[in-house]
Structure 1
Amino acid sequence: MKILPYYEAFPDSPAYREMQPLRIPAGWRIGWNQLLVTMDGDLTDIGGSSVFHATNEGRRFNIDVEFRPEFDPEGAFHLTVIYQPWPRTDRGRRRQDVPFRFDGDAQTVHTFETRSYPHLIAELEHWIARCTIWAREEN
């Protein structure tokens, strides 16, 4: 048996092969992704609360997917889309000098709940695509 270096063995590992393929355009930072193609059946073993988290700083959006309650076969996926408004000067112009972070001004722009994994993936890809081009505020 030939032993491969870790960087050659990973694409063939079960952890990689079972990852949910997603269409994610440039500009998104994936904080974590625990979505697996095997989630399309039994929901009993889904835990960790948040199973997907992505941020697009340029568009100021955050998308989070949770499974609540954790490890409960009667639980559901909860998708939340949050927008962080631009900080403004006294004259109403965008401030570019402030580090990006979500704070008390963040706005929930969409929520979605489902027990259907295929519906979750369709909704997630829809909102990733929408938030990639959506400008919520003028300059």
Structure 2
Amino acid sequence: MSETPLQPLRIPPDWRVGWNTLFELDPTAENVRRGFFGGSSLFGASSVHMRLAVDVEWRPEDDPDGRYCLTVYYAPWKRTENGRRRKNVALDFSHANVVYDMETRSRQEIVEQIEEVLRGRDEWIEHN
């Protein structure tokens, strides 16, 4: 596994990658058997500025017939009793909303989707 390169990704500067075990390998039965599609999550990243988190999993885990599952979460700003946005509040995804999800067997498609969602979509984000 150590000689296998990670999948190259274009990651905008505001994003922090928490983990990445998304390898530059297609999901063949042999690659699944070798352990490249195990673990609960293959890729995870978050953006404090956009208040988004991205998670990519392979489900079912270690299954050659599985699929990449991408989920995007949005953590709305905490609000005061008057509805104003609270400042200096840590980003917390424990009550986040799912704003987008998709599944595919294609490595190329999951890479395109990851790069697209890292750019964010206006409709996902509160702007006040």
Q: Which residue does 2:83 correspond to in 1?
A: 92
Q: CA deviation at 1:42?
A: 1.1
Secondary structure in structure 1 of the residue aligned to 2:98: strand
Structure 2 vs 1, CA of residues 68 and 135 (structure 1 numbering), >3 Å: closer, same or farther? closer
Percent identity over the alignment? Answer: 43
Q: Could you list the runs of 5+ residues in structure 1 that have no partner in the other structure? A: 1-12
Q: Which portions of structure 1, spanning 4 or more consecutive aligned residues, are displaced by more than 2 angstroms?
A: none
Greater helix fraction, Structure 1 or Structure 2: 1
Q: Please identify the structure whose Cα radius of gyration is greater.
A: 1
* Whole-Å separation in 2 of the counterparts to 1:55 and 1:134: 17
Instruction: Please say if 1:101 is aligned against 2:92.
Output: yes
Q: TM-score, normalised by structure 2?
A: 0.86
Structure 2 vs 1, CA of residues 78 and 41 (structure 1 numbering), >3 Å: closer, same or farther? closer
Q: Which residue does 1:52 correspond to in 2?
A: 43
Q: Could you list the runs of 5+ residues in structure 2 that have no partner in the other structure? A: none
Instruction: Please say if 1:129 is aligned against 2:119.
Output: yes
**The one of 53, 77, 85 aligned to 2:68:** 77
Q: Which residue does 1:9 correspond to in 2?
A: none
Aligned residues: 122
Q: TM-score, normalised by structure 1?
A: 0.80
